[in-house]
Amino acid sequence: MPRYFTEEHEWIEVDGDAATIGITDYAQEQLGDVVFVEVPQSGTMMTKGKEAAVVESVKAASDVYAPISGEVLEGNAALEDDPALVNTSPEEEGWFFKLTVADAGELDGLMDAAAYKAFCESL
Amino acid sequence: MRYLPLTDTDRAAMLDVIGAPSVDALFADVPSDLYLDGPIEGLPLAAGEMAVEKHMRGLSKQNLAAADAAFFCGAGAYRHHVPATVDHIIQRGEFLTAYTPYQPEIAQGTLQMLFEFQTQVARLYGCEIANASMYDGSTACWEAIVMAARLTKRNRIFITDGVHPHYVSVAQTMAKFTPGDVDYAYPVARAEVGEDAICASIDEETSCVVVQYPDIMGRIPDLQQIADAAHEKGALLIVVNTEPVALGALEAPGNLGADIVVGEGQSIGVGLQFGGPYLGLFAITNRKHVRQMPGRLCGETVDADGKRGFVLTLSTREQHIRREKATSNICTNSGLCALAFSVHMTLLGEKGLTALAAENHRLACQAADRLAQVPGVTVMNDAFFNEFTIMVDTDARQLVRDLAKQDILAGVSLGRLYPDGDGRENGLVIAVTETNTEEDFEILASALQEALS
Amino acid sequence: MNQINQSGWKPGTPVPADRGEEYPTVTGNKALMLEERLIFELGRTDTCGVDLPEPDPAAPNRLGKFARQQATGLPGLSEPETVRHYTRLSRQNYAIDLGLFPLGSCTMKHNPRLNEKVARMPGFADVHPLQPVDTVRGALGVINELAHWLIELTGMHGVAMTPKAGAHGELCGMLCIRAALEARGDARKVVLVPESAHGTNPATAAFAGYEVEDIPAAPDGRVDLAAMKARLGPDVAAVMITNPNTCGLFESEMKAISDAVHAAGGFVYCDGANFNAIMGRVRPGDLGIDAMHINLHKTFSTPHGGGGPGSGPVVLSEALCPYGPLPFTAKMPDGSIQLVEEENAAEHGHTETFGRMAAFHGQMGMFTRALTYILSHGADGLRQASGDAVLNANYLLRSLDDVFDAPFGDSGPCMHEALFSDHGFAEGMSTLDVAKGLIDEGFHPMTMYFPLVVHGAMLVEPTETESKAVLDQFIVAMRSLGERAKAGDEALKTAPHHAPRARLDEAQAARKPVLTYYTEV
């Protein structure tokens, strides 16, 4: 399944017309110990670029923006009890939410793994 | 100047290190035409301890202290005996001159005290979680209203008629700058609270109902009835308490259906001080709401060696991290007043609080019975704790002023609280605490009898 | 450099190893370092430290059906146990009374004990806020006299005394601005805030109903005047500026900023947190400020008390005075200062007030302390205090800027605080490590990671009440820590080693919050 990355350090894995979204290993490293994640409720309509979730570490709170538009299918309930999953498994178990891909065209211009790696190294 | 340790020799040596010719030169970035090159004219110059103390004592003497009067004022601020231990502890420099505990390794004293304070408040209020305090009762009340709006995503708030008028003014002021409506009904001089009318006013748009317990006239509303009605419509019940000693005798609001309980903590440990600093208390019954709570919170954790310790926590709710997205712009609590409250509450414990409340109630009953014997006086309340309202057949505001000339501070007139009248001019709110004596009651009763005859 | 240390230790003297680990105790106590349990573990609900009459079950009861059924479970202690509990806790706190407390922007100066004595005089401590006015003339006199000083020191027109703390004062000032704009039918929506501002500024502007936009800082650490001018327009309600700013610099273009904002129809709010640097040296009113809060607990020495109570009166320009909250203190045409309350607001033409911010008259207990402090200093002493505060900060800046990076060291003298960054530290070493190292050296750390515009910021504010000897000792400690941070000394990563607690697990505290002590009640 293709996986895309954004300059806001989110990853998007597309499976047909659904996508799973989380934050990257680089992002969790920058945040430090994640203590709380607020994920969107299913049924919420997301617009690309708008605030979709909140992730908090001890000292910082960051908004996570919707990388593409779509309807939320599911928020990751496991994060409520165990926000540390974002640190231990950011790109697998620590996913944030799944949503429908409203416009596959919005995926154009996102980075692949190699491009994202180069992007992080340039920071 | 006794507070400034530098000597001229020091200053010269330091300027040498800095490479500046004078202290004035350090202010080079201030436009020279606006720089003051000497003390502001017309203001007094430095004074020694004796002179300053004498001046301040002169101002102090122009006031009638409660201890020098037959004293019955309440209405949101109460005179209780504060044990000498309380003032001793809060004057320890390690508490008095510490900052907010942002470096927990060297602030465990303040932090453990706050954790204890939070638990004491939660238990007093019958709640799950209390914060580390707010400015005062009136601002805590407004913060509760805003929190309820965040939780319910509704904007219509309903403040009932027994809530302290200053608290209502604060809410009305703040609401002017916030979306949503504030409903408020003026109190009418009657014995009953009118729970049925309150319940009937709650609808699907209502975010919260704010009820004071006991209320500004000393009446005791049926919280459970209002809570049930509010919850049925999806609204929250905010209970305001301005006299925490009452909760030694009355059921805790959290046990009667309140969702948020706020109040003024001044009665326990903090003196009258002409209105401040006081102590805002804030607690919730549903721990799931904690991330929407305003104010500082202290939590338990462990240190790197595994020892129990305490830290300020969930600070991502607060202004220094969330900036414009914070739950509130508040960035302080009322730490030293919280300490005073906590020390006093520790001295009391459940046994002492119960005994203190019983003594307040006993004396208040005695006072009400005595005043009811005065011709022209009607006691309005059926139920009350340590404060009740009487009606007299004259303007109570003027009556209070007249009695003050005989060193009797007879209470707070409803006319003072509600300057626009509406039939409340003859009401007088009388508070009685353990500091009152039977002699006080005789003095007040005779003076009233004379004034009203 | 004169290396002073009361114990006689000086750099190079061998330090004996900490023998604590070798000789553990069964109690966990270490002589004067005493562990203390919670009152819920020490106390009992049937113990009481106050003598009260036993309740009489036969006494009349007018509580109706609301008498308490459920026990509170509040533990009690006898008086000696209480004194000991809190005394033991107190000894786990750092405090100004113990040593230097150089928290930038917090102005941790000496708290004179005369202030405490005066605040406890019965005429101030034992009066009710709703006593008849004729019985509290002296209390109102204190408010008026303090108001007079604040107005004169700032060159402003009136002062709202009731705000309970700095952030509350900010809100008061912003609500005055909003009321003034609304009075002229001007619905401006945007407030500009420099990115170096205190977090309260954007929080306050948002709370007052405004959209917040950042303005960048220029490379010298001051507000980018050109960028700000470019953003000004008919939608900008106000600019919130901190002066001296949080980089420790005086905004030398302040007058030009104010003039530009006024020309665009907006107002200038000044965060007065740093007023200690300029009192008696320049008056904010002369710089075109419209509203500024004054933290009595910073500039005027009222105690911080482990986190409050504060007090934040707001001085206002003539344009904003009509909108100030009640009770309000204003200069009358004859020069006298008058307290305006609800009942005499009309009489004094104060009918456009935006309302009330808190019950009663404000933080009276802080007013008596602040006035006592001000009278002790006098106009000359206050001017000397700001001079010494700035001198002390510059002395630290120039004594440390060869070890620590001072990002704005070339931007002229600093005001009352010196700013450093973590530039030049070894990989993996942070500002936090230096701060925790300072704890071991017996100092309270400086403000860390603020302002946000400087990486790993360390903001050091010594205040005027520190002697040169103390500053020299601090310099020795800081230089040593700076060298260790540059060298990558791993021991710093686990500091403090000598405090009552090692570093605390803040992640655990936030992930599974335990905010209340639980027992079966």
Average pLDDT in the B2-6 region? 97
Q: Determine contact: B29 vs chain C, CB below 8 A.
A: yes
Of B20, B96, B416, the CB nearest to C130: B416
**Tokens found for residue B8:** 């001229």
Residue B318: pLDDT band with limits 50, 70, 90 = low
Check whether residue B287 and residue B217 sit in a common domain: yes
In chain A, residues with a C-beta closer than 8 Å to the C-beta of B323 are none
Q: What pLDDT sits at residue B409?
A: 98
Confidence of residue C3 (pLDDT cuts 50, 70, 90): very low
Q: Is residue B217 part of a domain?
A: yes
**Residue B65 contacts residue C122 (beta carbons within 8 Å):** yes
Are residues B207 and B157 in contact, defined by beta-carbon separation less than 8 angstroms? yes
Question: How far A61 CA lies from chain B's nearest CA (Å)?
Answer: 6
* CATH architecture of structural domain C117-370: 3-Layer(aba) Sandwich (3.40)
Chain B residues near residue A58 by CB distance under 8 angstroms: 315-316
Q: Is the pLDDT of residue C14 over 80?
A: no
Q: What residue in A sits closest to C508 (Cα-Cα)?
A: A35
In this complex, which chains have at least 3 CB pairs below 8 Å with chain A? Answer: B, C
pLDDT at C21: 64
Q: Cβ contact (<8 Å) for C511 and A35?
A: yes
In chain B, how many domains are there?
Answer: 2
Query: Are the Cβ atoms of A83 and C506 closer than 8 angstroms?
Result: no
Looking at the fold, whether B323 and B335 belong to one and the same domain comes out as yes
Which pLDDT belongs to residue B424?
Answer: 84
Residue B423 pLDDT level (bands cut at 50, 70, 90)? confident
Tell me the DSSP string of B199-259. HHT--TTEEEEEEESS-TTS----HHHHHHHHHHTTPEEEEEES-GGGGGTBPPGGGGT-S
Q: For residue B280, give the nearest of C168, C273, C452 by alpha carbon.
A: C168
Q: Are residues B73 and B205 in the same domain?
A: no
pLDDT for residue C2: 41
Q: What is the DSSP letter of A111?
A: B
B337 touching C, CB under 8 A?
yes
The confidence score (pLDDT) of residue B389 equals 97
pLDDT at C16 over 70: no
Domain boundary among B323, B344, B365: B344
The chains in contact with chain C, meaning 3 or more Cβ pairs closer than 8 Å, are: A, B
Residue C196 pLDDT level (bands cut at 50, 70, 90): confident
How far is Cα A69 from Cα A45, in angstroms, rounded to an integer?
Answer: 8
Q: Do C510 and A84 touch (CB under 8 A)?
A: no
Asked whether residue B71 is domain-assigned, the answer is yes
Determine whether the interchain pair C439/B106 forms a contact, defined as Cβ–Cβ distance below 8 Å: yes
Report the pLDDT value the prediction gives residue C172, as an integer from 0 to 100. Answer: 95
Instruction: Give, as one character, the DSSP assignment of residue A41.
Output: P
Strand duo C291-293 + C314-316: pairing? antiparallel
pLDDT, tens digit, for every residue of C72-113?
Answer: 999 999 999 999 999 999 999 999 999 999 999 999 999 999
pLDDT band at C338 (very low <50, low <70, confident <90, very high): low
Chains B, C: CB contacts within 8 A come to: 714
The pLDDT of B269-274, averaged and rounded, is 96
**Residue B6 pLDDT > 80, yes or no?**
yes
Mutation pick from A38, A41, A57, A58 vs chain B, by most beta carbons of B within 10 Å, is: A58
Chain B residues lying within 8 Å of C164, measured CB to CB: 135-136, 139, 276-277
Q: Does A81 touch chain B (CB under 8 A)?
A: no
- The CATH number for B338's domain is 3.40.640.10
Question: What does the DSSP 8-state code read for residue B45?
Answer: B
Residue of B15, B63, B168, B176 to mutate, interface with C, max C Cβ within 10 Å:
B63
CA dihedral C258, C262, C264, C270 (to 10 degrees): 50
| Smallest Cα distance from B322 to chain A, Å | 7
Domain CATH for B398: 3.90.1150.10
A119 reaches B (C-beta below 8 A): no
B9 within a domain of the structure (yes/no): no
- Which domains can be identified in chain A, with CATH numbers? 3-107 (2.40.50.100)
**End of a domain among B324, B344, B364?**
B344
Please check whether residue B320 touches A, CB under 8 A: no
> Which among B116, B298, B302 has a CA at the least distance from the CA of C501?
B302
pLDDT for C4? 43
Please tell me the distance from the alpha carbon of residue B35 to that of residue B17, in angstroms, as a whole number.
24
C74: its two tokens? 């509040």
Distance from CA of B200 to the nearest CA of C (A): 22
Tell me if A45 sits within 8 A of A71, measured CB to CB.
yes
Across chain C, mean pLDDT equals 91
**Tokens for B444?**
């007040």
pLDDT value, residue C9? 46
Contacts of B347 in chain C (CB under 8 A): 48-50, 76-77, 79, 82
8 A C-beta contact, residue A9 and residue A25: no
C391 CB neighbours in chain B (<8 A) are 6, 11, 14-15, 18, 23, 26
The reply to whether residue B321 touches residue A36, judged by beta carbons under 8 angstroms, is no
Q: Are B104 and B98 in contact, with CB atoms under 8 Å apart?
A: no
B6 in a structural domain:
no
Residues B78 and B91 in one domain: no
Q: Give which of C416, C369, C367, C408 is closest to C391, Cα–Cα.
A: C416
Taking the C-alpha atoms of residue C150 and residue C381, their distance in angstroms, rounded to an integer, is: 15
User: Do B322 and A60 lie within an 8 Å CB cutoff?
Assistant: no
pLDDT at residue C18, rounded to an integer: 55
CA distance C123 to chain A (A): 45
On whether any CB of chain C is under 8 Å from the CB of A36, the answer is yes
User: Mean of the pLDDT values across residues C457-479?
Assistant: 97
CA distance A64 to chain B (A): 14
Give, in order, the Cα–Cα distances in Å from C187 to each of B156, C209, C232.
24, 11, 15
Asked if A60 lies within 8 A of B291 by C-beta distance, the reply is: no
* pLDDT for position B36: 97
Determine the Cα–Cα distance for residues C190 and C236; give it in Å rounded to an integer: 5
- Among B344, B367, B392, the domain-final residue is B344
Residue C331 pLDDT: 64
Strand partners, B284: B129, B260
Q: What is the pLDDT of residue B445?
A: 98
Which residues in chain A are closer than 8 Å to C449, comparing Cβ atoms? 59
Residue B221 lies in a domain: yes
> What is the reported pLDDT for B328?
62
Q: B49-61 and C137-154 helices cross at what angle (nearest 10)?
A: 130
- Interhelix angle for C79-90 vs B108-125, to 10°? 130
CA B120 to CA B126: how far, in whole Å? Answer: 10
- Tell me what pLDDT residue A62 has: 84
Average pLDDT, chain A: 90
**For range B234-258, the mean pLDDT:** 98
Give per-residue pLDDT as tens, B98-111.
999 999 999 999 99
Specify whether B74 is located in the same domain as B94.
no
Nearest to B4 among C132, C204, C465 (CB): C465
Tell me how crowded residue C132 is: count the other CB atoms within 10 A of its CB: 22
The H or E element containing residue C293 is: strand C291-293
User: Minimal Cα–Cα distance from C507 to chain A, Å?
Assistant: 6
Flag if A61 and B291 touch (Cβ within 8 Å). no
Q: For the beta carbon of residue C352, count every other beta carbon within 10 angstroms.
A: 13
CB contact under 8 A, C203 and B324: yes
Chain A residues with CB-CB distance to B316 below 8 A: 35-36, 56-61
Specify the pTM: 0.94
Q: Is the pLDDT confidence value at C342 over 80? A: no
Give C217-222 contacts, CB < 8 A, sequence gap 24+: C217/C247, C217/C453, C220/C249, C220/C408, C220/C410, C220/C411, C221/C196, C221/C245, C221/C247, C221/C248, C221/C249, C221/C407, C221/C408, C221/C411, C221/C419, C221/C453, C222/C247, C222/C249, C222/C251, C222/C252, C222/C253, C222/C411
Is the pLDDT at A3 greater than 70, yes or no?
yes
Average pLDDT (C259-279) is 96
B316: confidence class by pLDDT, cuts 50, 70, 90: confident
Strand pairing report for C267-271 and C291-293: parallel
Question: Does residue B156 have a pLDDT over 60?
Answer: yes
Chain C residues contacting A via beta carbons under 8 Å:
449, 506-507, 510-511
Rounded Cα distance, C410 and C413, in Å? 8
Chain C nearest CA to A112, separation (Å)? 30
Question: Residue B179, preceding bond cis, omega within 30 degrees?
Answer: no
pLDDT value for B391 = 96
Would B48 be classed as within a structural domain? no
Is the distance from CB of C116 to CB of B54 less than 8 angstroms?
A: no
- Indicate the pLDDT class of residue C453, thresholds 50, 70 and 90: confident
Range C400-407 average pLDDT: 97
| DSSP conformational letter for C320 | T
Q: What's the rounded mean pLDDT across residues C51-67?
A: 92
Q: Do C98 and B93 touch (CB under 8 A)?
A: yes
Inter-chain residue contact B103 with C445, CB threshold 8 Å: yes
| Residue B175: pLDDT band with limits 50, 70, 90 | confident
> Which of B52, B299, B337 is closest, CB to CB, to C114?
B52
pLDDT of amino acid B113: 98
Of B392 and C2, more confident = B392
Tokens of B109: 């004293």
Residue B325: what pLDDT? Answer: 58
> Which chain C residues have a beta carbon less than 8 Å from that of A58?
506-507, 510
- pLDDT tens digits, residue range B84-96? 999 999 999 999 9
Integer Cα distance of B124 and B264 in angstroms = 13
From the CA of C512, how many Å to the nearest CA of chain B? 9
pLDDT by residue (tens digit) across B48-70?
A: 999 999 999 999 999 999 999 99
Q: Mutual orientation of helices C364-400 and B49-61 as an angle, nearest 10°? A: 150
Phi, psi of B211 (to 5 degrees): -130, 135
B401 touches chain A (CB under 8 A): no
| B139 and B223 both lie in a single domain | yes
> Domain range holding B156?
85-344
CA distance C248 to C253: 15
Say if B336 falls within a structural domain: yes
**Is B120 within a domain?**
yes
* B269 contacts B344 by C-beta, under 8 angstroms: yes
Ordered by start, the domain boundaries in chain C are 117-370
pLDDT tier for residue B383 given thresholds of 50, 70 and 90? very high
A59 in contact with chain B, both atoms CB, cutoff 8 A: yes
From the list A36, A57, A61, the residue facing B322 with the nearest CB is A61
Query: Given C449, C506, C511, which is nearest A84 (Cβ)?
Result: C511
Tell which of B15, B29, B49, B316 to mutate to test the C interface (max C CBs under 10 Å): B29
Residues of B in contact with A60 (CB under 8 A): 316, 321
Cis, peptide link before residue C309, omega less than 30° from 0: yes
Cβ distance C392 to B14 less than 8 Å, yes or no, reads yes
Cβ of A36 within 8 Å of Cβ of C506? The answer is no
Residues within 8 A of C (CB atoms), A 88-117 only: none
C342: tokens are 């609800």
Q: How confident is the model at residue C229 (pLDDT cuts 50, 70, 90)?
A: very high
